[in-house]
Amino acid sequence: MVSKRFIFCFFSISILATTILPNAHAGPYDKEISGLQKQIDEVNSDIDEIEKGIQTEKQKIVDLKNELLDIDETIAETEALINSEDSQLVKHPIRLEVLADDYIDVWSSRSEPFQLRRELAIDSYVRNDERMNSVLTQSAQLTDETLRGIRSQILYKALIDETEGRLESVDSKMRITGERVSEVHEEIAAARNKQKDYVQLQEETRSRIPGVNESILNLNSKINTLERNIENLKIEINVLDGEIERYQLLELSKQWTGLPGTDIRRPALAIKIDNVSIARPQAGINQADVVYEELVEAGLTRLIAIFQTTDSRVVGPVRSARTSDPPLLTGFDSPLFAYSGANRGTREVVKDSDLTDVGYDASRESYWRSTSRRAPHNLFTSTERLWSKHPDRDEIPEPPFTFRTENSPLHVNAKKATGVFVDFGHAEIDYAWNGTGWERTHNGEPHGDGDGVRVAPTNIVIQFISYGKSAADSRSPEAITEGSGTAWVFTDGHLIEGQWERKKDSEPAEITSDGVPIRLTPGNTWVALAKTGTATWR
């Protein structure tokens, strides 16, 4: 998920781009930003999938907890049923005891002696038993002779009948009691079977609890792992966000150097600088974004210091133009061109180009002569004075290079290098890596500026070209900077061998290696326009 910090930065940058750069060109890092954004989208998609997985696992936990509730409910229900059967089983022995007592009583009544049964018959008579009264009435009607015998017979028969009736009643009660005893035993057996089933169900239900709890623990562990994965992915997104921020800040600030900051909306300013021994140390060369070194007469060189992001209070000594300059500088969107003068042919070339002339003849008030040096090596200017001549120019020109971000890797073809030597003829130049820049030596002497600061640009580009003869002066070599050729790029203690190609005169040369653009380390860059075979690296 994209961080709030990145969202704030992104919208701030967007507003800045809208208000400051309404017509800004497509950024040189659009491809990288698009790739990083694609990675972020993929990571966010992964996070979404993981979050869906977490929700699925959480639902499983809910289901398992519901299962535990069902288990608890089942256990409670079976416990109640077991207790109910226990209650019934407690009552059954009492019922059996009562039935046993009844059975004993019935059995005892069946085994009463005959006398007891006769007494029972008489008792029935005494109790005015209708049947017995009828018998006695018949007996009273008999004669005295037969009365005793008949009465005895009648009484005996009545007693037998009564006894048999009573026995049948007793036997019936015994059968009923026996049946009830059997029923109670069956109820006891059924209750015990039910209780056994309930106990078994309860045990089986309880046995599920550890498995369910283990499943919940495993799911929680899985969720914790997934949540850690999400946190790691969010960290990855923050890293990618940071890369995007750096690319965007790089695009919106100091395109010419890749250094942090905000671009100033103004044209490029190219100043031609003397480079003979009497002209050194020069002023402003360490402040320039890019410095080109080109061959002039007698194997000497001159510098073209190009400013866009920086200012310099003093720049010089300013010297004359050559026909090499307009074709080279045309690629920087009609830059301001400062120079001390030129022969007629060169002036015509400058006039016919799209360069904006702020040379000495066109803007004398922007220059002054130093009394500490001899002419013609004493003409100086300032970037502020020259830019003030064209306040209407608020475009940002196409930078000649693109830059890598902090901690981003070098080109895959980069190899370690400690320095490079270039032989222009009477100007022998050496650059040696010091850990932060490439220290420049000119004809065996350390090259410093007017403030005593050693020239040690962040990047060195050896752009191998050919030289022709200038149409304005046959003694003057003319650099051929259109077309293509070999290029060596020295950056961050490494060399990347590649090719330069200038597809349009209106654009600077593009430098690639195996078709992949070579990105420089943020900082200033010096470019040596050297003939093929005049440079060696180490």
- pLDDT tens, residue by residue, 265-315: 999 999 999 999 999 999 999 999 999 999 999 999 999 999 999 999 999
pLDDT(13) > 60: no
Q: Which domain holds residue 371?
A: 269-537
Q: Which residue has the tokens 């781009």?
A: 17
Residue 148: Cβ-neighbour burial (10 angstroms; 0-12, 13-18, 19+)? exposed
- φ, ψ for residue 338, nearest 5 deg: -110, 130
Confidence of residue 142 (pLDDT cuts 50, 70, 90): low
Q: Which residues sit opposite 338 in a β-bridge? A: 271
Q: How many residues does the chain have?
A: 538
Residues 159 and 195 in one domain: yes
Question: What pLDDT shows up at residue 137?
Answer: 57
Q: Average pLDDT of the chain?
A: 85
By three-state DSSP, how is residue 236 classified? helix
Confidence of residue 189 (pLDDT cuts 50, 70, 90): confident
Residues 148 and 99 in one domain: yes
How many domains does the chain divide into?
Answer: 2
Residues 173 and 43 in one domain: yes
Residue 332: Cβ-neighbour burial (10 angstroms; 0-12, 13-18, 19+)? buried
Question: What pLDDT shows up at residue 6?
Answer: 39
Taking residues 1-29, what's their average pLDDT?
43
Highest averaged pLDDT of the listed ranges 134-143, 190-199, 410-419? 410-419
| Residue 1 domain-assigned (yes or no) | no
Taking residues 92-117, what's their average pLDDT?
68
| Residue 39 domain-assigned (yes or no) | yes
Question: What pLDDT shows up at residue 187?
Answer: 82
| Residue 3 domain-assigned (yes or no) | no
**Torsion angle of the four alpha carbons 30, 35, 38, 43, in this order, in degrees rounded to the nearest 10:** -130
Per-residue pLDDT tens digits for 421-442: 999 999 999 999 999 999 999 9
Confidence of residue 16 (pLDDT cuts 50, 70, 90): very low
| Residue 306 domain-assigned (yes or no) | yes
Residues 353 and 497 in one domain: yes
- pTM exceeds 0.85, yes or no: no
Number of neighbours of residue 243 by Cβ within 10 angstroms: 21
Residues 282 and 156 in one domain: no
Taking residues 503-527, what's their average pLDDT?
94
